[in-house]
Amino acid sequence: MDTLVKNLLSNQMKDKIQKPNCQTRAGRTLLAFYLQTKFKQIINYDKKSPKEIIKSYKKNFLDDFTQRLIDRPHDRILIALSGQSACGKSTICKQISTCIEKLNLPVSIISADNYFNDISDKIEKYGNFDLLRDAGYDVDAPENFDLDLLKHDLEEIQKGKDIYIPQYLVNGSGKSVPNSILIKSKKIIIVEGMCSVYDKVIDAFDIKVYIDINEEERKKRFMDRAIIRNQDHQNAIKHWQYIQTAGKQYIEPKKDMCDIVINGECDLEYFSHMVEYINLITNNFCED
């Protein structure tokens, strides 16, 4: 385990505090101050680490988020996890899923890619997705997601209601099956996918995280993934050129609207330890 994180965990185990009464505004304000202090500690420790996760964050982010906890304590916390294709979204989400299972975290994860519109009729017309793309279909454009449904589902789950989301089939058919995947309304909801920062839905999130990575590494990851999927090399190059253009048009401009920018090449073990520490500081209270 990273020495810095080990020290954080060790010190926090000794630092139990009286749990404030979160039913009162005064109690929530005390809790918000405590969390601000601890998260600033995380940021400072991370800066000292050679495996730094946090590249940047908005100046007022902690103040705005903790004020939200004070004002709306019963709402679920919605977190957007976005970034360009092959930046590491799925890999980081898998690591978070491992942490959820290990630590029994009250977290649900939604893949926003399931909100792609059904294009099975277009696939049938053109023969396959690649031919459809070559004909000019812009798969990553905002209008090709059901953002109205995503916004509605986010509003419902934030109120504490379980939801059924669509399932976009990844078998090349372009088909979307409605009301297919049950998502439990847990304390924290992470929505992973590029469209989570599109205009219709970005304001629904309490925390917006952008995963950043240099283009050379992104291309390497994309091409490695194409080899694993037995994708034709020339077709992979074509698709890489497409996602470069789409990313610069639809996703990269949203980076400045996000609260936190994290390193897409972060060490996953170190990332897991930081998640463990965050879990500890949010639950490390005396009962008496």
Instruction: For the domain covering 54-265, report its CATH number.
Output: 3.40.50.300
What pLDDT does 287 receive?
47
Q: Where in the chain is the domain with CATH 3.40.50.300?
A: 54-265
Give me the residues of the chain with pLDDT under 70, please: 1-19, 283-288
Helix (H) or strand (E) holding 64: helix 61-71
What pLDDT does 288 receive?
43
What pLDDT does 22 receive?
79
β-pair partners for 168: 176
| Nearest-angstrom CA–CA distance, 67 and 168 | 36
State the residue for tokens 């994180």: 5
Buried b vs exposed e over 214-224: b needs ≥16 C-beta within 10 Å?
eeeebeebbbe
Cβ atoms 184, 162 nearer than 8 A:
yes
Summarised one tens digit per residue, pLDDT across range 232-266 is 899 999 999 999 999 999 999 999 999 999 999 99
Beta strands at 163-168 and 176-183: parallel, antiparallel or unpaired: antiparallel
SS3 152: helix
